[in-house]
Each structure stands twice: as structure tokens, then as C-alpha cells.
Amino acid sequence: MRTDHFIRFERVDAVEQTERGLLARLHGEWLRLEAVRSDVVRVQLSRGGVFDEQPTYAVCVDPFDGDGDGDDGVAWRAEPGEDAWRLTTDDAVVTLWLDPFRLDVHRPDGSVVVESVPDEDGRYWTYATLNDAWTMRRRIGRDDAVYGLGEKGGRHNRRGRDFTLWNTDVLNEHATAEFRAGLDTDDPRADMRSVEFDPYYVSIPFFHHLDTTTGAAAGSFVDNGYRGEYEFSRDDEYRVTFHGGQWTEYVFAGPSMPTILERYTWLTGRASLPPIWALGYQQCRWHAYSQADVEAIAKRYRADEFPCDGMWLDIDYMDGYRVFTWDSTRFPDPEAMLKGLANQGFRTISIVDPGVKHDPGYEVYDDGVEKDVFCRTEGGDIYIGQVWPGNTAFPDFATPEARAWWGALNARHVESGLAGIWNDMNEPATGEISPLGMLFDKGRAKHERFHNQYAMLMAMGTLEGLRAARPELRTFILSRAGFAGIQRYAANWMGDNQARWDHLWVSMPMACGFGLSGQPFVGADIGGFQGDTEPELFLRWMQMGALTPFARNHSEVGVIEQYPWSFGDEIHGLAREAVRLRYRLMPYLYTAFVRASETGEPVQRPLVLDHQTDPEVIDVDDEYLFGRDILVAPVTEAGMTSRSVYLPEGDWYDWHTGELHAGRQRITVPTPRERIPLFARAGGAIPMWTEAPPSTDGYRPEVVELHVFDPVSDGRWESLLVEDDGLTVTDGEPERLTTTVVVSRSGGEVSVSYETSGPGYAGHARTRFEVVRHGR
């Protein structure tokens, strides 16, 4: 983005101390610098002398109630000076330079968190504005790394590239035209099917900046929903620009990446604990199924003894793509179908788009018009876009009235027996019609303010409705688009990917980018959504996808079938074994989701999150940790018979052979057709079911295996197992059992002990653990 006409803020006129920090006057505006926690600082700059106290719906707590008890407990002091004022906490020193205006944040040891940077003329770009847009420039080391920004293609390390934050229907040629314009035809960003294309469906203005020299990390979250630009392609500075709204930023001093993520998810919320069935394998296909077709597919899964928990219905289950309807010809008795599937252990999820068909006489449209809950244009018309049903109106989710109306529609929809809701086309996608005429908040807010937040507000309304309908049950919502905080309401899948090897690969850094941005419940369409998959690609994707947080097989209409049984007996059997491993690991996976709900840590995690001081993991994005103790190294190319795997610090057991390997080295591992490389951390105790059930429904085993991987050196390792009914919501203390397993080694002797706490839960059936030892 060009900034040559921007007007810099260059001098601070006055500074005073306030109850929470500093208040400065500059260029006719006010600047707030406030200590949120000892390692988190908030920066706010007014517009027109007024602060926007709720720029987005991302922050869900009072930032100044640090631990939720009404007492922030942050110790800080202000130090005036002739050239600068300083705001100091135990973990951060904020320096406000007066003339020229600069804003720097350091740690007490002097290491850099944030530093303003001068241009070639020596003038600082701490803040500059042009009309409604604003920009800032900051220092970055030549070899430093950047992670986050939510859903982005390409390498996990964002350094060396530029990104736009604008939720986009990636395969819509109209929505992507401006981002492809002017690029050479051989530039991968000019191809919306490329793994390098940008922007994507989800925009999260939060990133980690890793100083690769010291291993210290800092974080930045700009609480702004307008279109954003992040430029990380320059050698010694990065630039951030937003096209509207105020500068409201939370700066995280770190230096630990897990701590930064914990603080960020404290601000923006953490994923609710999902129902356990949502962690099972999911079957989906865009196809004009009949009721008999769906029932036959379910029957085939059970006959094949192929574990499966979810049956999904895409847009063709509706009557003419009218949301909250059923095609009565294809589905003459949906309630009976859903009940029959439930009796076999299947939950059913249907798609619900935000676009309401412009169709006077259609109940949902007429009711929306009567209640005045649709978005308007500047002239007062109901905004009309173009989606599957043709002309469509869009609920004004920026208003609580529209969210409540939408929630009630979803509540009524699931009365048929549906278990969850799938939100698609919610960027919002408007086809060949520009979305910019769609105004929000009853016409008072322009489109750009809420565009990136639209999907999150839609999920918010959906969640309210589902909770009202079934207050005792956990909800499940899947969303294509999202913004900072989407994890509070919905899981995300990665949209319309391709049946290609590079899309299998890119799902790894994309998932890890999500995870480092607060969203732990993510997954890509297994096999690829668009295009004809191949047997080998499908198998390798199944083997990887079974070890990701969300595991759904999905493809579009018009491509070859990609059911597990579509490629012959061998592929069918090997895919079944991959999914059976997922189900046996369900206690481990479920516990990882408990941790995510409590601390914000991701389930699928890049190696750099746990090993940020190891320079070898800075650019590793073809392997990942699944939970804390399992390393997954998928096959990413056709015909691959072996691959290189980097093992981080510690000791690692080959899952398949039991061979022990020391960490901080690369090894070459064979990749026979029947498996992908997996490693277990020495010292880990991985809880597993003894068998893979047909589904999680009603499965209450009497025995849980503890797979203990002997530590090599002396030390102590803790692992966790959380057990509950996997379905219900409880007030107060959760109705669960929490078992802490301690594996220790001393003087060549390995010991295993455990302690279980908690009130328990109805239906608990486990009577014992069986320890399965791996090692010497």
C-alpha cells in the first residue's frame, strides 16, 4: 500500500499520568498508554478526539481485570523526563518519546519488544494517517521470524511476504479480482488456487515476532476489523496499515510464545470444550443426496467397521437453497432419517448460509423484512447480493436483534434432530455483486467496519440459539470465515482446497497459523474439495487428516467419489487403520482439547511453539506436534518412499518400530504405503482406548491404556488424562475426572505414578489403567 501522502504524527504536546498509565496530547488527538498486565500494554489513539471503546467484538473480557476478580494487580510506575516519559512494569518498559514522537517497548533487560523505525530521511513513522487510513513502521531483525495472522497460505514463517486482512471467498473470481490485478501470470499470487494466494477466508490481526538471535518473542494484536495490510517483505522494518478505524493495539512482551498465546486468548476468549463426537471422523460431500442415499452411506460405514461420527448435508438438502428448509422430494421424512442415524451413532450436521433468498412469500424472508433485520443500503433499500439461491438478503448481524432472530431460526432448525450447524459463504460472499453497498447497524456503519467480523457475529447468533434450544448440551458450529475471537463460537475449516499434493502440504502451516492465532479447532477437507483426487493422495491425506484437530472427508459436486471405499480394498483398509488410530487416541486428543479450552494452547502445534530457541525449527512447516507428545511427519509428495524428519529437543520413539532417537537432529525415515512417520516423546504417557469403536456414541470403556515411553535421562514428566461424558455442560466445577500421570527416572530406574481428582460424572465406566511400556 502506498503511504507517500500520509501525514505523520511527529511531536507530543503534553503528557499526564492517569489511573492506568499515561495520556498524551498530539496533533489534536489523545494517546493512551496503559498497563493491562505486567507483560501486556494497550495503546489507543483517538479519532476526532474520541476513543472507540469497542472497536470490534474480539476482546471478551475487561482488560483491566487481569484475573477476573475485579483487581488487576498490575504494579506500574510513570517516570516523566525532558525527552520522554516511561511507563514501567515488572516485565515491560514503554518509552514515549516526545519530539520526535516515538513509541518503544522493551523488556527490563533492554531487549526489544517494539521499536519505531526512521525512514531514509531520519523521520519516524510511529503513526501516520490519510483520511480514514493509518499506518506504522517498526524495526525487525534481518533474520527474524513472524508467525500468526490466522489463515494464510504459504510457509508458516510469514517473513519475506506481504498480507492483506480481508475475508475473501477464495474461489470467487469477482471477490479475488482486485488481489490478482496487475500481477504477472507466473506469479503464484495471481492464481486463486495457488497455495500462495492471499487473502483467505479468515482475518486475525495478531502475530508473534521472534527474534532469532535471542529466541525471545513479542506479540501484537491490533483490535481493528477494517481491511489491514501487513508488510513483512523488507529487510529491517515491517509496516502495518489499516484502512479505517482507530489504532487500538495490545503489545505482548513475552518472551515465551506459549505465554503470549495464553495472554492473547485470555483477551479474545478460548474455544469451548467441544462435544466428543465432533472429534470423530466426519463424512461430507456436496451432492444431491436423497434420504435413502444418506442412509445407505451410513449403513456402509457400519458394515465396513469404519469408525465415523458425523454425516454432513451440503446445500442440496434445501428447498431451492432456501435456508432452514428441506427438499421434501429428496427428504420426505428428515426427522425419521435423523433419528435413525442417531440410533446408529451418527450425528448429522447441515449447512446454513447467511444469504436469505429474496423471495416474497418465503417465510424466513418475509419475517426478516417484517422485523427489519436485514442489511440496508445507503438509500435505505434492503441490500441484495447473489449467492446460491440467486438474489439474497443478508442479516444485519451487527445488531443484537438480528443475531437473536437468527439464533431462534437455528434453534427451530435443530428441533428436527440435527446435531450441529455448518456456516459457509459467510465472508460474506456476495457473488458478482460488490459487498460494499451492504451497510450494518441499521445503516449507521459502513460495510468495511464489520466485513471481517461478519462470520463471527453470525456464529455468535447461531450459538445463542443453540444454547437456548439445548442448554444442557455442548454446541458445535463450523465456520468458513472468521475474525479474532472466532474460537469462542465455532471451529474453522480451511475452505475450498484442491485435490493436490501442495494443498495437502499447505494445510499444515495453515493449521499451525490458526493455532498460534488462538483457534485450536481446525482442519482441511481430506482428499481435497475441488478436483479429482488420486488413490495415493487420498490415502496420504487420510493418514495425516486423522491426526489433525478436525477430520472431515469432503469434496465438491462433479468430481469422482472419494469415500474410503472408492479406491479399492487396499486403500480402503489402510484408510480405516488410520482412522482407527485416531479413535484409539481419543482420550489423548480429548485431553488436548481440554488444555486448549483452559490455556489457549493449540492441538496441532508448530515445533517452534515449544522450541523457539532452536534455530532449526524456525522454518519447519512439513511436520507438527499433535498434542504435546506426538510428532507427525506426513507424506507430501507422490511416490515418496522416505523423508527427512527433524526431531526437536528431547528423545523420541518411532511410533511404529519402537526405535529410539535423540533429539536436535535430522533423520531419514521410510514411508511405506501403510503408514506415515510418527514419534512419541520420551517421558510421555499417552492414554489410549484399547480398540476403535464404530463411533464415540455411548462408548464407555472399562480399561484405558497408558502408553508410557521410557525416559532416557533422569527427570520428571507429567501427562494428563481428562474424562467426562463428552456431551453436557455443567455449571460450576466440571463433572469430570482428571488424572495426572507422572513418569520419572532416577538412577536408571523408571517409575510411573498417577493421581486422579474431580467429582466424576454419570456413566463413568473405567475400572483400571493398563500400562503399556515402550523402551528398554
Say yes or no to pLDDT of 71 above 60. no
DSSP codes of every residue in 69-104: SS------EEE--SSEEEEE-SS-EEEEETTTTEEE
496 catalytic, yes or no?
yes
Q: Residue 614 is placed in which grid cell?
A: 532452536
pLDDT digits (tens, 9 = 90+) for 556-572: 999 999 999 999 999 99
231 catalytic, yes or no?
no
Q: What pLDDT, on the 0 to 100 scale, is given for residue 69?
A: 44
Q: Which helix (H) or strand (E) holds 645?
A: strand 642-647
pLDDT digits (tens, 9 = 90+) for 446-490: 999 999 999 999 999 999 999 999 999 999 999 999 999 999 999
Q: What pLDDT, on the 0 to 100 scale, is given for residue 730?
A: 85
Q: Residue 299 is placed in which grid cell?
A: 449403513
CB atoms within 10 A of CB 18: 11
Q: What pLDDT, on the 0 to 100 scale, is given for residue 476?
A: 98
Q: State how far the Cα of 651 lies from the Cα of 663, in Å rounded to an integer.
A: 5
Q: State how far the Cα of 575 lies from the Cα of 553, in Å rounded to an integer.
A: 11
Average pLDDT over residues 383-402: 98
% residues pLDDT > 90 (the chain): 97
| Cβ pair 467, 473 in contact under 8 A | no
| Cβ pair 707, 680 in contact under 8 A | yes
pLDDT bucket at 66, cuts 50 / 70 / 90: low
* Residue 66 or residue 607, greater confidence: 607
pLDDT bucket at 11, cuts 50 / 70 / 90: very high
Q: State how far the Cα of 62 lies from the Cα of 55, in Å rounded to an integer.
A: 14
Q: Residue 262 is placed in which grid cell?
A: 495464553
Instruction: Kindly report the pTM of this predicted structure.
Output: 0.97
**Of 624, 626, 622, the residue nearest 637 (C-alpha):** 622
Enumerate residues 6+ apart whose C-beta is below 8 A from 417: 334, 335, 338, 339, 342, 348
Say yes or no to pLDDT of 68 above 60. no
**Of 482, 502, 501, the residue nearest 491 (C-alpha):** 482
Q: State how far the Cα of 609 lies from the Cα of 602, in Å rounded to an integer.
A: 9
Helix 501-515 × helix 535-545 angle, to 10°: 20
- Count Cα neighbours of 140 within 13 Å in the Cβ-side half-sphere: 27
Say yes or no to pLDDT of 1 above 80. no
691 catalytic, yes or no?
no
Average pLDDT over residues 260-283: 98
pLDDT digits (tens, 9 = 90+) for 182-217: 999 899 999 999 999 999 999 999 999 999 999 999
Q: Which helix (H) or strand (E) holds 457?
A: helix 454-469
- Count Cα neighbours of 256 within 13 Å in the Cβ-side half-sphere: 7
Say yes or no to pLDDT of 597 above 80. yes
Question: 169, 198, 249, 424: which is the annotated catalytic residue?
Answer: 424
| Cβ pair 313, 291 in contact under 8 A | no
Average pLDDT over residues 318-325: 98
Enumerate residues 6+ apart whose C-beta is below 8 A from 689: 583, 584, 585, 586, 587, 699, 701, 704, 705
Q: What pLDDT, on the 0 to 100 scale, is given for residue 656?
A: 98
Q: What is the SS3 assignment for 284?
A: coil
Question: Mean pLDDT in the chain?
Answer: 97
pLDDT digits (tens, 9 = 90+) for 427-453: 999 999 999 999 999 999 999 999 999
In terms of phi and psi (left: phi > 0; alpha: psi -120 to 50; beta: otherwise), the region of 570 is: alpha
| Cβ pair 662, 647 in contact under 8 A | yes
- Cβ-in-10-Å burial (0-12, 13-18, 19+) of 748 comes to exposed
Question: 72, 169, 496, 724: which is the annotated catalytic residue?
Answer: 496
For the sheet with 84-88, list strands across it.
77-79, 84-88, 93-97, 102-106, 112-114
Cis status of the peptide bond prior to 199, with omega within 30 of 0? yes
Say yes or no to pLDDT of 72 above 70. no
Question: 427, 534, 601, 629: which is the annotated catalytic residue?
Answer: 427
| Cβ pair 752, 684 in contact under 8 A | no
In 690-767, where do the E strands start and end?
A: 703-709, 715-723, 737-746, 749-757
The distance of Cα 382 from the centroid of its chain, to the nearest Å, equals 32
Average pLDDT over residues 669-683: 98
Q: State how far the Cα of 370 lies from the Cα of 377, in Å rounded to an integer.
A: 17
